[in-house]
Amino acid sequence: MSRKPSSLFVEREVYRKRRMIDAARVLPILGAALFLLPVLWRSPEGLGLPTTHLMGYLFGIWLLLTVGAAALSSYIASIPEPDEDPPEARG
């Protein structure tokens, strides 16, 4: 890692990484909410929604989640480790 970039730039990188980690934390919560959403769905007639529609929805969400996770993990990997985040210690 070059030491050339100004400290502002490095700060910015570390900042970005922290936010990406935040995003990585939010992703599963978002995924859980979206996966559990069909429980609340009913068609106007009171019947369950068509399986084919739900398959489209669930696999679509699934795909988006994996793509999101892949993007985040490669982003997090591409930036040098910042100090271990203190929030980890709560509990």
Partner 1 sequence: MATLNLLVLVCLLYVALLFAVAFGADRAALHGRSRWLRSSLIYTLSLSIYCTAWTFYGAVGFAARSGLEYLTIYLGPTLVMIGWWYTLRKMVRIGRSQRITSIADLISSRYGKSTLLAVLVTVIAVIGTMPYVALQLQSVALSFDAFAEAEPGGRAPNTEATALWVALGLAIFTVLFGTRNLNANERHHGVVMAIALEAVVKLFALLAVGVFVVWGLSGGVGDTLARIDASNIARWEVSGSRWVGLTMLSAMAFLCLPRMFQVMVVENEDERHLRTASWAFPTYIMLISLFVVPIAVVGLDILPAGSNPDLFVLTLPLHAGQDGLAILSFLGGFSSATSMVIVAAIALSTMLSNHIVMPIWLRMSGKHAMMSGDVREVALLARRFSIVFVVLLGYAYFRLSGGGAALAAMGLVSFAGVAQFLPAMMGGIFWRGATRAGALAGLLVGAMIWFYTMFLPSFGASLLMPQAVLDHGLFGQDWLRPYALFWTNGMDPVVHAVMWSLTLNILTFVTVSIFSFPSPLERLQGAQFVNVFRHTSTTGTWSGGLGQSEDLLTLAQRIMGAVPAQQFFAAAAQRQGLEGYLPEPSTDFLQELERELSGSVGGATAHAMVSQIVGGATVSVEDLMAVADETAQIMEYSNQLEAKSQELQRAARQLREANDKLTQMSVQKDSFLSQISHELRTPMTSLRSFSEILRDSDNLTSEETRRYASIIHDEALRLTRLLDDLLDLSVLENGQVVMNEQVGTLQTVLDRCTAMAVGEGRKLEIIRNREAEDIVLHTDLDRLAQVFINLISNARKYSDAEAPVLTIRSALDRDRVLIDFTDNGSGIPTEEQSVIFEKFARVGQNEAGGAGLGLAICREIMQRLGGSITYLPGQSGTAFRVTLPVSTRVAAQ
Site residues, partner 1 (CB under 8 A) = 21, 24-25, 27-29, 31-32, 35-36, 38-41, 47-52, 54-55, 58-59, 62-63, 65-70, 73, 76-77, 84, 88-89, 91
Closest contact distance (angstroms) between CB of 2 and partner 1 is 22
d(C-alpha 25, C-alpha 30), whole Å:
9
Give the residue with the Cβ less far from partner 1, 8 or 47. 47
Closest contact distance (angstroms) between CB of 4 and partner 1 is 26
Closest contact distance (angstroms) between CB of 54 and partner 1 is 5
* Cβ-count burial 9-32 (b if 16+ within 10 Å, e if not): eeeeeeeebeebbebeeeeeeebe
In the block, residue with structure tokens 């795909």: 63
Tokens of 75: 């982003």
Q: Are 80 and 61 in contact (CB under 8 A)?
A: no
Give the residue with the Cβ less far from partner 1, 10 or 61. 61
